[in-house]
């Protein structure tokens, strides 16, 4: 086959997504069915509800992805699927669908790590060049990953407690915002000032780890104390102060890591990479502090969970000969 077409399936959390990717770098279709509305009234993703939605949406998304890409199954070279990390029930729906499709059309099955997918989303912006540093920031993860070469991942630092996105969602809840609240806090932060001066945990420590639970507690205490004393609170300033703390630690440690490791590119990826404050600060700091390093961040719609990024990562996996058999199982706590 002249062009390599991969059908990619993603169902690790609350989006059902199927994409068709050409040669690992061109998106022919990327269907994303979000279930976020079904989980909002629970204030978080309910695993059982997620699995049920994936069952309903999966075959429809596969159909749509093929139609939009104008591709017949016979033209495909492989089927890629996220097998972890994520919710076990949710992952299993995608894995079962991918296996069935691969079996029916006699295609190789390519297993993909969801977090590797987030990094490879940057490949749609600009070809990845190694070595690179990736800051992965999502609802479940906050980690610095050093990639010496394509397909090689070394976690050099990570959160000791909450993920950055999780912290956004938890403080959002205290402010009475709708889940997930990262986007809304980001918008509010731009209207306020850092007047509350929350702590910058571990910023001075000589490692690349993070911690966000202290910040979250500090935020919650500030709100509760003010409520008890009937004091006025500025939601905008609270959001701005919270966001300033998150940005300071993420930027400081990531820039430091990029000075220590011989990187050509810095990639920021995952749901929290959609954050405007974070994107702006990184652009500034990289230009100032890291001459010769290119900063790449995927466009907004490729920051959140999607199958296009899984297809891009799968291309690399397939080149390396990483093919699964039909025993492939979900690995909810898969790491690099
Ligand atoms: O990668 P993702 O879509 O799902 C996971 O794999 O976790 O990330 C979702 C997370 C949520 O916690 C959400 O609040 C956060 O990304 N998020 C943001 C923004 N947009 C989404 N956090 C901060 N600022 C944003 N603009
Ligand atoms: Zn994700």
Among all ligands shown, which has an atom nearest to the Cα of 271? 1
Q: Where in the chain is the domain with CATH 3.30.420.40?
A: 5-119+305-319, 126-297
pLDDT tier at 319 (50, 70, 90 boundaries)? very high
Distance between Cα 125 and ligand 1 center (Å) = 20
Nearest atom of ligand 1 to the alpha carbon of 141: 7
* pLDDT of res. 149: 94
Q: Are the C-beta atoms of residues 130 and 263 closer than 8 Å to each other?
A: no
Q: Is this prediction's ipTM beyond 0.85? A: yes
Nearest atom of ligand 1 to the alpha carbon of 180: 14
Q: Are the C-beta atoms of residues 122 and 296 closer than 8 Å to each other?
A: yes
Among all ligands shown, which has an atom nearest to the Cα of 274? 1
User: Mean pLDDT for the chain?
Assistant: 96
* pLDDT of res. 1: 65
Q: Are the C-beta atoms of residues 14 and 140 closer than 8 Å to each other?
A: no
The pLDDT tens digits of the residues spanning 154-177 come to 999 999 999 999 999 999 999 999
pLDDT tier at 30 (50, 70, 90 boundaries)? very high
The conformation of residue 274, written as its DSSP 8-state character, comes to G
The pLDDT tens digits of the residues spanning 88-147 come to 999 999 999 999 999 999 999 999 999 999 999 999 999 999 999 999 999 999 999 999
Distance between Cα 195 and ligand 2 center (Å) = 32
DSSP H helices, 8-46, are 36-40
* pLDDT of res. 101: 98
* pLDDT of res. 43: 87
Cα 134 to Cα 156: distance, rounded to the nearest angstrom: 10
Cα 171 to Cα 102: distance, rounded to the nearest angstrom: 43
Cα 165 to Cα 329: distance, rounded to the nearest angstrom: 27
Q: Are the C-beta atoms of residues 98 and 80 closer than 8 Å to each other?
A: yes
Which residue ranges make up the annotated binding site? 114, 118, 136-140, 169, 182, 186, 275, 305
Determine whether the shortest distance from the Cβ of 270 to ligand 1 is under 6 A.
yes
Which residue's CA lies nearest to atom 22 of ligand 1? 182
pTM of the model: 0.95
Determine whether the shortest distance from the Cβ of 84 to ligand 1 is under 6 A.
no
Among all ligands shown, which has an atom nearest to the Cα of 140? 1
Cα 136 to Cα 147: distance, rounded to the nearest angstrom: 12
Determine whether the shortest distance from the Cβ of 186 to ligand 1 is under 6 A.
yes
User: Is domain 5-119+305-319 given the CATH code 3.30.420.40 in the classification?
Assistant: yes
Specify the length of the chain in residues. 336
The candidate with the shortest Cα–Cα distance to 81, out of 59, 101, 64, is 101
The pLDDT tens digits of the residues spanning 324-333 come to 999 999 999 9
Residues with C-beta atoms within 5 A of ion ligand 2: 138, 305
Q: Are the C-beta atoms of residues 163 and 169 closer than 8 Å to each other?
A: no
Of residues 222 and 43, more confidently modeled: 222
Nearest atom of ligand 1 to the alpha carbon of 140: 7
The pLDDT tens digits of the residues spanning 56-83 come to 999 999 999 999 999 999 999 999 999 9
Determine whether the shortest distance from the Cβ of 168 to ligand 1 is under 6 A.
yes
* pLDDT of res. 41: 87
Determine whether the shortest distance from the Cβ of 183 to ligand 1 is under 6 A.
yes
* pLDDT of res. 140: 92
* pLDDT of res. 281: 98
Distances (CA, A) of 243 to 189, 234, 324: 7, 14, 41
Note the maximum CA span of the chain.
70
Which residue ranges make up the annotated binding site for substrate? 136-140, 169, 182, 186, 275
Which residue ranges make up the annotated binding site for Fe cation? 114, 118, 305
- Name which CATH class applies to 126-297: alpha beta
């Amino acid at each position: 086959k002249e062009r390599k077409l991969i059908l990619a399936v993603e169902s690790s959390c609350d989006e059902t997504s199927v994409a068709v990717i050409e040669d690992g770098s061109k998106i022919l279709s990327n269907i994303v069915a979000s279930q976020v509305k079904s989980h909002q009234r629970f204030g978080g993703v309910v695993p059982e509800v997620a699995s049920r939605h994936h069952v309903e949406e999966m075959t429809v998304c596969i159909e749509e992805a093929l139609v939009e890409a104008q591709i017949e199954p016979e033209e495909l070279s492989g089927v890629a699927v996220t097998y972890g990390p994520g919710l076990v029930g949710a992952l299993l729906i995608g894995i079962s669908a991918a296996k069935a499709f691969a079996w029916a059309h006699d295609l190789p099955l390519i297993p993909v790590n969801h977090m590797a997918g987030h990094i490879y989303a940057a490949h749609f912006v600009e070809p990845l060049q190694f070595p690179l540093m990736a800051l992965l920031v999502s609802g479940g993860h906050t980690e610095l990953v050093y990639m010496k070469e394509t397909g090689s991942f070394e976690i050099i630092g990570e959160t000791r407690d909450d993920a950055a996105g999780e912290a956004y969602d938890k403080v959002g809840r205290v402010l009475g915002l709708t889940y997930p609240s990262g986007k809304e806090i980001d918008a509010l932060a731009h209207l306020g000032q850092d007047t509350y001066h929350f702590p910058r945990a571990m910023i001075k420590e000589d490692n690349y780890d993070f911690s966000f639970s202290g910040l979250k507690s500090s935020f919650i205490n500030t709100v509760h104390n003010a409520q008890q004393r009937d004091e006025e609170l500025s939601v905008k300033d609270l959001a701005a102060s919270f966001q300033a703390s998150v940005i300071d630690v993420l930027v400081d440690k990531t820039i430091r890591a990029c000075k220590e490791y011989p990187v050509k590119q810095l990639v920021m990826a995952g749901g929290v990479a959609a954050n405007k404050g974070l994107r702006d600060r990184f652009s500034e700091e990289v230009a100032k502090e890291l001459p010769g390093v290119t900063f790449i961040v995927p466009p907004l719609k490729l920051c959140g969970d999607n199958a296009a990024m899984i297809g891009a990562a799968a291309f690399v996996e397939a080149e390396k000969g990483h093919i699964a058999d039909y025993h492939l199982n979900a690995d909810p706590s898969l790491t690099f």
